[in-house]
Each structure stands twice: as C-alpha cells, then as structure tokens.
C-alpha cells in the first residue's frame, strides 16, 4: 500500500544534480503508438490489410517488451516478437531522428482531421476514409453536423443505428480529449518527483489531485514539494526534459506543459505546512467544501497552509494530514475516497472501510501467454509473477471461440501439463526451487457468445481450476439481449469470474447496454465474481459500478489481464479502482488464502453434480 503521503512520496534531503539534460530517448509506448498509427494510416489509404495487421501486432509487441527499445540495435529489435527487419529499421529511424519518413509520407496524403476521425470510438479507418471521399468530411465537427442533417444514411454501411453509435463515440472522444490515462499521468508524475527529490533542499515531494485519488483519467498533475528555499526547485522544474513550455514561473508555484500534452503544476510549501497542503490539494472540490464547512462550524479556517482559529488567526495544526482530519473530528480519509460520496459521514460514524491494499493481493487470476495473444512464454510469465511475491497465479489463455487464437483441446491440455509441472517450482524471488513455491492454477478466458454460451461443454470445463468468461464481440445487442447474455454466463456452474464486465475501453469504446443491477444480482446469487480489470485503458468495472455491485453482495477479482511481463505491474491501478469502489480485502477473492479461494472457485458444481473435479 502506498504511504499516506501518496504512492510516490519522497522524503529525501541530499545533494544531487541541479540541472537535467534534455533527452531524446523514445519510450516503448511512444514507439508502439507510432507503429499503431502507421497501421491505421495503411488502412485509411486502402493499403494492404495484411501489412496493417503486421504493424498492429508489432505495436503490441513493442508496447509489452520489457527492455527499452531505444537502447536496442537492429539485431535486438528483431528479437522482439512480430518485429522484422523493415519495422526494426523504422524504429531505429524514429529513435535517431524523431520521425519516420514512411509515416510522414502517408500522413501527408490524409488531412489531419480525417486522422482525428479514426479516434472516434465505433468509427474505423475505412469508414473515416469513405466519409472523406464521399462527403468531404474532414473534421469531427463536420461529421457531427452531417449526422444531424442525416447525410450519412445514403452511404453503404451507414444507417440510423450507425449514426447513433458515432454520435456517442464523438461524445466519448470530446470528454477524454484533454485527459490522459492513469498510467501515463503516474509515469510522468513519478519522473518529475524522482528528479525534484534530488534537488538540494527538497525535504518532501508528492503528487496530489485526481492522480493521488486514482481517477481513471487525469487532466493535469499537481506536484507538491516541501522546502525552505523554493527557488532551486522552481529552476530545476522548469528545465526538466519533458517540458515543452513554461506557462508560468513564480517563486512558490510554476506551471509547465509537457511532451505528453499534460500540464504540471508545482507548488512549494513550508515544511510545517506539508499536511495541510497535501490535504487541500488532494480532495475533489466537493470533498474540500465539506471539510471547510466542518471547519467553519468549529470557528476554524482551513487552507493549504493549515487549520487556523478563525478569530485570532492562530495556527492550530498543519504538519500532517492526520492532524488536520483529527482536529476536524474525522479519521484520516484515504485519498481514493475523497470524492464526497459518503466518506465524511462514514468517517464521523467511525465506519470507513479498511480498504484493500496491493500488498494484500495474493495472486493474479487473469493472465495470458504466447499460446494465444500474449507476448511471453508460460515459464517467463510464471517466474515474473513469483518475483512479485504471489502465493498463487492463474494462467488463462483464450478458448477456441475466438478463432484467431487457434486454440484446440489438444493445445490447451498440453499447456495444462506444463502448468502442473511448474506448480510450486518458483519461489518468491522468481527462482526455481524443489517445491513449496507459488501455486499455479490452470484456467481459461472463455468467450461469452451472443446467447450467453461459452466455448467448451461442461465436461471439458470441469478440468480447469477456474474459468474467466468475457464478452469480445456483438457489442451492439439490445439492452435485454445483453442482460440475458451476461446472466446466462453467470449461471454456468463453471464460470467463476466475468472478465472486463462492461467491455468499455476508456475514450474508445462505450460500456455494454445492459441492466447492470440484474447482472449484479445474478453474480451474487450464483457466486460469480466480477473482475476489476487493471489495464489502464479498461479499469472495468469502473468505481461507480463497483459501488452498485457491492450493494448486491458481489465478490470481485482484481486482475492485470497481463499479456506481457510488464503488464503484471498494472495491478496497482486495479487496486486503486477497487479502493475508489470502497472495497475491503474480504470483497476481493484474490486477497484470500488459497484454500478459501479454491472453495469459492468450486461454485455450485458439486451440488449440481455437473462435470468431474478439476485435475
């Protein structure tokens, strides 16, 4: 669990570098985004579909590769799955120059507005090009106007339902256009903190605001530091490598814009005001209004500098958040709860939940290998999970319903034999041992079909230790059809967890249209857990849905859905989302001891007499 000052708080007072050379290093994510864009450009311009898919696969491989691609030579790049000689050359060109000539050439053929159209959820590259070619539409605004005028309906493949979906996609795009995903903001903030913590005179540093509250997207970053002399910190901050523009430069507050498009505010506060400042700049506006109202009723005044007597101006407390909350008559409220969703009332009653913490996660129950669409082999994923200190770990590659995964009974059973052979072999440091190490569960991610059926019959499903079932297609079914589909999956005695339940992808795909209260009730009734998928672009279930599902008595699994070793670390974002949903360790099945977890995974199988026991 992060310290109470925040997930990336530094209390360092030591000499260090005071200037930071600007780096031209390209992150794996940046290179992956360029390759993905090239794939889209190929599709938009009617290029070879196979070539586009090659670049899509390469983008995924680069994004999930554990080594820094900017430090690799051509040979090292070609060792990355799906990266051939031509793609390696483009990566080297980008690392060297910051551009790729082939990408620039395709960009020049397509108006920038058309490229932006491809970012609209539900509108793919080919449809964006049709809109440009047939109607001359080259901006999101022009598209919205064309839909209002019903000009799309004469085009092949476009109709009233398509128009409705595109309008919803435009709303999603606009709502997320000025915000970034949680992991992007966290990575940038932690880089800033690491640099500032080395500046002489920096006593403490932490990020605050919506990032500390672990909101799913972040609009800007608030960074706090404590120092007696703020000037060295301000100078270092405005010279950081990621800074593209200094928006404001003051003695106690500066604002910069970064290469990620995010604004970062730095505030330097006196050391004895640290707790008050952290409390003041962390809570949502509504939470802070409530705490200030409580202060006013007690004839106090609360600000970023402390809690003061309203009449005399005397400072009462300011050094720690605990002191500030305690003087208001409240316990310390975890940052993830500071949204004014009942945390003040619960605190006054002494009923704040003992929130689940990442340190209490005993295992990951939804992960993939290169048997299907993962990037790393089984043993590599197992060893990495063991290094995280897990007591147990589930391998859940896709079933045969997703044809592109080429799964067969024989391939799945062969993997099961490998999993059994590795069971207990890896200890907590990721090293092989004679026994007693991390326990392995052989599972599967089943596809929930349009009618709620799953990939295999019950007699085959009985051999798995657990089954995750997820929707991967037919996203536009009716409200009733989606509801019945999900309820039927819950009622399957071999389905233990509904994976990424709403299927939403933040800013790109909306949630399924279903009666979620009916689905949540079915999960509680059947003993089916709901996943909190920790991938930063999913975070599905979202916090509001978790709160609703919890009232039904549902249990949850916080899973990484890792497709590469580095994805295992996304667990932190899933835990943050679980905290925002007020979940405790008892609510989350992968905090439980293995014996209790396995009892839960048996579901109603013995009582119903279905199938044979798991191998």
Q: Using one digit for the tens of pLDDT, what is the confidence trace for 262-282?
A: 899 999 999 999 999 999 999
Residue 594 backbone class (left: φ over 0; alpha: ψ -120 to 50; beta: rest): alpha
| Distance in angstroms between the alpha carbons of the first and the last residue of the chain | 35
List CB contacts of 395: < 8 A, sequence separation 6 or more: 367, 368, 369, 378, 381, 382, 415, 419, 440, 441, 442, 443
Is 434 within the bounds of a domain? yes
Residues 207 and 172 in one domain: no
| Residue 24 binned pLDDT confidence (cut-offs 50, 70, 90) | very low
Is 143 within the bounds of a domain? yes
Residues 47 and 60 in one domain: yes
CATH number at residue 528: 3.20.20.140
pLDDT surpassing 50 at residue 12: no
CATH number at residue 187: 3.30.460.10
Q: Which of the listed residues 114, 141, 176 is the one where a domain comes to its end?
A: 176
Residues 42 and 150 in one domain: yes
User: Residue 225: what pLDDT?
Assistant: 96
Residues 35 and 126 in one domain: yes
d(CA 299, CA 289) in angstroms, rounded, equals 15
d(CA 120, CA 222) in angstroms, rounded, equals 29
Residues 511 and 417 in one domain: yes
Q: How many CB atoms lie within 10 A of CB 106?
A: 18
Q: Which of the listed residues 144, 176, 208 is the one where a domain comes to its end?
A: 176
Residues 541 and 556 in one domain: yes
Residues 381 and 499 in one domain: yes
d(CA 354, CA 342) in angstroms, rounded, equals 15
d(CA 111, CA 107) in angstroms, rounded, equals 8
Is 5 within the bounds of a domain? no
pLDDT surpassing 60 at residue 1: no
Is 97 within the bounds of a domain? yes
Q: How many domains does the chain have?
A: 3
d(CA 472, CA 380) in angstroms, rounded, equals 26
Residues 257 and 133 in one domain: no
Is 23 within the bounds of a domain? no
For 206, the enclosing helix (H) or strand (E) is: strand 204-207
Residues 225 and 306 in one domain: yes
d(CA 165, CA 120) in angstroms, rounded, equals 10
User: Residue 609: what pLDDT?
Assistant: 36
Where are any strands of DSSP class E within 63-202?
Answer: 180-181
Q: Which of the listed residues 296, 330, 349 is the one where a domain comes to its end?
A: 349
Is 54 within the bounds of a domain? yes
Residue 30 backbone class (left: φ over 0; alpha: ψ -120 to 50; beta: rest): alpha
Is 153 within the bounds of a domain? yes
Is 13 within the bounds of a domain? no
Residues 145 and 162 in one domain: yes
CATH number at residue 46: 1.10.150.110
d(CA 195, CA 237) in angstroms, rounded, equals 8
Q: What is the mean pLDDT of the chain?
A: 88
| Segments forming the whole domain that contains residue 482 | 358-605
**pLDDT by residue (tens digit) across 295-350?**
999 999 999 999 999 999 999 989 999 999 999 999 999 999 999 999 999 999 99
**pLDDT by residue (tens digit) across 458-511?**
999 999 999 999 999 999 899 999 999 999 999 999 999 999 999 999 988 889
Q: Answer for the pair 232, 355: CB distance below 8 angstroms, yes or no.
A: no
**pLDDT by residue (tens digit) across 80-126?**
888 999 999 999 989 888 889 988 888 888 777 777 787 777 777 77
Residues 371 and 487 in one domain: yes
User: Residue 115: what pLDDT?
Assistant: 73
Instruction: Tell how strand 263-269 and strand 220-226 pair up.
Output: parallel
Percent above pLDDT 90 for the chain = 64
Residues 457 and 404 in one domain: yes
User: Residue 161: what pLDDT?
Assistant: 78
């Amino acid at each position: 669990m992060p310290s109470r000052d925040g997930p990336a708080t530094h209390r360092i007072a030591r000499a260090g570098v005071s200037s930071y050379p600007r780096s031209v290093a390209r992150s794996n994510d940046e290179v992956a985004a360029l390759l993905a864009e090239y794939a889209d450009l190929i599709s938009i311009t009617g290029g070879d579909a196979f070539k586009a898919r090659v670049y899509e696969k390469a983008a995924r491989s680069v994004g999930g590769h554990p080594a820094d691609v900017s430090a690799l030579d051509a040979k090292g790049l070609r060792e990355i799955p799906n990266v051939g000689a031509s793609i390696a050359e483009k990566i080297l060109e980008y690392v060297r120059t910051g551009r790729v000539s082939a990408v620039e050439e395709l960009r020049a053929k397509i108006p920038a507005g058309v490229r932006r159209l491809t970012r609209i959820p539900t509108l793919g590259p080919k449809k964006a090009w049709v809109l440009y070619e047939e109607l001359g539409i080259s901006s999101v605004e022009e598209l919205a106007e064309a839909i209002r005028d019903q000009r799309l309906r004469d085009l092949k493949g476009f109709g009233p339902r398509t128009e409705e979906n595109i309008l919803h996609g435009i709303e999603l795009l606009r709502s997320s256009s000025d915000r970034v995903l949680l992991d992007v903001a966290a990575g940038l903030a932690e880089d800033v903190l690491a640099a500032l913590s080395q500046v002489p005179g920096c006593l403490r540093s932490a990020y605050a605001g919506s990032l500390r509250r672990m909101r799913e997207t972040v609009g800007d970053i608030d960074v706090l530091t404590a120092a007696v002399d703020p000037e060295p910190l301000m100078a270092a901050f405005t010279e950081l490598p990621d800074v593209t523009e200094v928006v404001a430069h003051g003695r106690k507050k500066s604002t910069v814009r970064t290469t990620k498009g995010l604004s970062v505010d730095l505030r330097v506060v006196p050391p004895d005001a640290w707790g008050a400042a952290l409390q003041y700049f962390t809570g949502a506006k509504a939470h802070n209004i409530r705490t200030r109202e409580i202060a006013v009723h007690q004839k106090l005044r609360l600000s970023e500098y402390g809690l003061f007597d309203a009449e005399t101006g005397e400072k009462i407390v300011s050094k720690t958040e605990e002191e500030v909350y305690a003087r208001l008559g409240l316990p310390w409220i975890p940052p993830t709860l500071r949204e004014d969703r009942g945390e003040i009332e619960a605190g006054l009653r002494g009923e704040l939940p003992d929130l689940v913490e990442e340190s209490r996660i005993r295992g990951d129950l939804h992960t993939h290998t290169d048997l299907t669409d993962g990037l790393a082999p089984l043993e590599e994923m197992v060893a990495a999970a063991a290094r995280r200190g897990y007591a147990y770990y589930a391998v859940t590659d896709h079933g045969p319903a997703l044809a592109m995964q080429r799964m067969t009974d024989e391939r799945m059973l062969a993997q099961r034999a490998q999993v059994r052979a590795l069971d207990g072999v890896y200890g907590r440091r990721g090293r092989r041992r004679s026994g007693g190490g991390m326990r392995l569960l052989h599972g599967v991610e089943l596809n929930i079909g349009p009618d709620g059926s799953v990939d295999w019959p019950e007699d085959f499903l009985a051999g798995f230790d657990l089954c995750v079932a997820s929707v991967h297609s037919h996203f536009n079914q009716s409200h009733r059809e989606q509801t019945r589909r999900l309820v039927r999956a819950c009622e399957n005695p071999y389905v233990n967890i509904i994976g990424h339940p709403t299927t939403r992808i933040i800013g790109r795909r909306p949630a399924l249209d279903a009666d979620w209260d009916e689905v949540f009730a079915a999960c509680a009734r059947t003993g089916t857990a709901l996943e909190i998928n920790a991938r930063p672009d999913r975070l599905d279930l979202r916090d509001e849905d978790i709160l609703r599902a919890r009232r039904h008595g549902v249990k949850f699994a916080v899973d990484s859905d890792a497709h590469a070793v580095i994805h295992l670390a996304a667990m932190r974002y899933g835990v943050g989302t679980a905290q925002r949903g007020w979940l405790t360790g008892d609510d989350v099945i992968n905090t439980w001891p293995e014996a209790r977890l396995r009892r839960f995974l048996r579901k109603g199988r013995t009582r119903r007499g279905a199938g044979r026991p798991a191998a």
